[in-house]
Chain A
Amino acid sequence: MDQQQNVIELKEVTTSFYSRKQELTVVDRVSFNVKQGETLAIVGESGSGKSMTSLSIMQLVPAPNGKITNGEIIFNGEDLLKKPEKAMYTVRGNDISMIFQEPMTSLNPVYTVGEQIREQLMYHQPLSKREAHQKGIEMLERVGFSRAKEIMGEYPHQLSGGMRQRVMIAIALSNNPKLLIADEPTTALDVTVQAQILDLMRNLSNEYDSSIILITHDLGVVAELAQRVVVMYAGQVVEEAAIEDLFDKPLHPYTEGLLNSMPKLDEEQDRLQSIPGAVPTPDNFPVGCRFVTRCPYAMEVCTKEQPTLLEKESGHKVRCFLHEEGVVNDGEHERSS
């Protein structure tokens, strides 16, 4: 899978919000790629810019205040940011699909499930209403509905949260997208339903060989689905690694903190560990490393300069002075658990 080509590649993508007084950069020079059939997870706390990154790919950053100011998004060998808005209409929902965090509100309450699947199919493919209906039923069966025919005629409010998220997945996959962006797809669901949805997504991505960008703050979900992980903090990528490397040998103190704050079954713990403080807001980003205010290893240099994202080992990138040559003698530090 490593040798396979990139489905999408982000280069230095920067997205800002403009208010009357200031420019707030919420996505700061973010670069990563996703390969064919791969599931890439973007992990971070609320406010880390992960959702904005995904909306930037779709070019659905809330207008008129939000704008993608820099960078390239290479998809199918073309830079999406250079394409006219018109061209995006055939990319969205067709080549790249997206499902959202809130299945309860992401479907239009006044149209039937069938209508919402059919319109998606008929918009991007030359299908008659009957063909679209048939395809819709197939899609619903594929995401695990046993009474797909009836579901087509039902309204979103008649379905449970898990069912709605399945419907969203069916809609998103109906045009065989090359890339599926799932923004916290299981966060709003019960734990048992979460597992079902994750299973479904894993099976479908194998079946269709489609790539997934999975946005989540739940490392458990990451472990279930992803092959590679990008950790974001305050709008920047702070670490990127294959899943095993990240869990076994996290390099960035923030990743370490995230892993430590997961409950463990095999160790006795009185309290869960947590990272003190919260993600700074974009108007409050520190001058140096953005994690400096919460970092247990903060050094003098961290408050003054921004570290750069460096490839420490093959496929393992980190943005931290602890791992920059010549800043500290001992590149390795002990995990503090």
Chain B
Amino acid sequence: MTTYIIRRLIMTIPLLIGISIITFAMMQFAPGNPAVLDVDPDIPPEAREAQIEALGLNDPLPVQYARWMGGVVTGDLGNSYISKRPVVDMISERLPNTLILMFASSVLAVVIAIPIGIVSAVRQYTKTDYAITLVSFAGVAVPNFWIGLMLIMFLSVQFGWFPVGGVQTLNADFNLWDRLHHLFLPALVLATADTAALTRYTRTSMLEVKNQDYIRTARAKGFKEGKVIFKHALRNALLPLITIFGLMLPTFIGGSVVVENVFSWPGIGELFLTSVNQRDYPVIMAMTMFTAFLVVIGNLIADILYAIVDPRIEY
């Protein structure tokens, strides 16, 4: 198992290099560059040219890439073109907030989606099932920034049940309840689409398993419906869901870009959006590589979980 994990991690290196080359190239092909966007329009063209030259943006692309890669290998992701601060610092001070948000969202998604999906499958073609189906399609279809805004408007502004944004009450000491209070709405909104999708997947997976021969065997053994569903069907139905969940993990990063902006949540999603708008190449590169790494890790976690749950899989 350990050798398998190590092998998988080594295999990700060429993958990440490939991703970095593509991202690097695409970034350069996009119109605009940091000097043009950020600098005062009254500055004379010579000064702007000098700025571009100083950032090394006139060098051939392979040279620029090699310079960036050289930094990465030594653990230096460079400095932001805009704030001039090290990218590592900028990300590491915001990363915990995003990770907390992602973790809370994924827990919410699983805790909500799986029971509802089971109910939907067990009561297939009943009104309950149709209602769940309708709501989950809505959950996938409605953009999460809109849901976020609506929740803020009603629950936060009108009823005052939840704070409007931020990670905690300003200038307050650390307080777990206060943190959770702030976390709930953004986590819920970030989880919406994936919860809805996961509900549908759970339903499909349960329905498929319910028709298997071993479920009939379980019934023939005299087990009550609850035991048949939760002991014999559920564990088999979870297998495909693990893969789907692993693939969902990186979508939380994408979702967090929007949700963090709506809820003024100081995470890397917010940083990502700002850096793209400002063509802050070192930050964009670091963020993309981080997301790519997360995809790889998500898949690896899914594969490991798979091996734990399904005895038929060996490494």
Contacts and interface: CB of A to CB of B under 8 A. Distances in A.
B213 A123 contact: no
B310 interface: yes
A106 B213 contact: yes
A58 B235 CA distance: 25
Nearest to B311: A155
Nearest to B234: A110
Nearest to A107: B214
| Interface size, B (range) | 20 to 34
Contact of A109 (B218, B231, B311): B311
Interface string A84-118: 00001111111001101010011111101000000
B48 interface: no
A120 B220 CA distance: 10
A268 to B, nearest CB: 42
A157 interface: yes
Given A100-B217, A107-B214, A93 B222 contact: yes
Contact of A108 (B214, B222, B224, B309): B214
Contact of B213 (A102, A119, A120): A102
Contacts of A142: none
A184 to B, nearest CB: 12
Contact of B214 (A92, A93, A109): A109
A92 B222 contact: yes
Contacts of B3: none
B127 interface: no
A105 B214 contact: yes
Given A110-B309, A124-B222, A155-B312, A60 B216 contact: yes
A158 B191 CA distance: 40
A97 B221 CA distance: 7
A157 B313 CA distance: 10
Interface in A235-275: none
B224 A89 contact: yes
Contacts of B239: 110
The secondary structure that dominates the B interface is: helix
Interface in B207-241: 212-214, 216-224, 231-232, 235-236, 239
Nearest to A86: B224
A110 B222 CA distance: 19
Contacts of B214: 105-109
B181 to A, nearest CB: 40
Contacts of A157: 311-312
Given A108-B236, A157-B312, A90 B213 contact: no
A157 B213 CA distance: 15
Interface string A109-150: 110100000011001100000000000000000000000000
Given A89-B223, A155-B312, A157-B312, A110 B217 contact: no
Contacts of A58: 219-220
A91 B221 CA distance: 9
A30 B3 CA distance: 61
Contact of A171 (B213, B216, B221): B221
Given A107-B214, A108-B214, A97 B220 contact: yes
A106 B309 CA distance: 19
B128 to A, nearest CB: 14
A167 to B, nearest CB: 11
Contacts of B216: 60, 100, 106
A92 B213 contact: no
Contacts of A90: 222
Interface string B278-315: 00000000000000000000000000000001111000
Nearest to A55: B216
A124 B213 CA distance: 21
**Which of B219, B220, B232 has the largest count of A CB atoms less than 10 A from its CB?**
B220
B218 A108 contact: yes
A60 B217 contact: no
A20 to B, nearest CB: 11
A106 B214 CA distance: 4
Given A89-B223, A91-B222, A107 B217 contact: yes
Given A58-B220, A60-B220, A93-B223, 19 more contacts: A89-B222, A91-B222, A92-B219, A92-B222, A94-B222, A98-B220, A100-B213, A100-B216, A105-B213, A108-B217, A108-B236, A109-B214, A109-B236, A109-B311, A109-B312, A110-B309, A120-B221, A123-B222, A157-B312
Interface of A: 58, 60, 88-94, 97-98, 100, 102, 105-110, 112, 119-120, 123-124, 155, 157, 168, 171
20 contacts: A89-B224, A92-B219, A92-B220, A92-B222, A93-B220, A105-B212, A106-B213, A106-B216, A107-B214, A108-B214, A108-B217, A108-B218, A108-B232, A108-B236, A109-B236, A109-B310, A110-B310, A119-B221, A119-B223, A171-B221
Q: Which 8 residue pairs spanning A and B have beta carbons closest together?
A: A93-B222, A92-B222, A93-B221, A105-B213, A108-B214, A98-B220, A155-B311, A106-B213
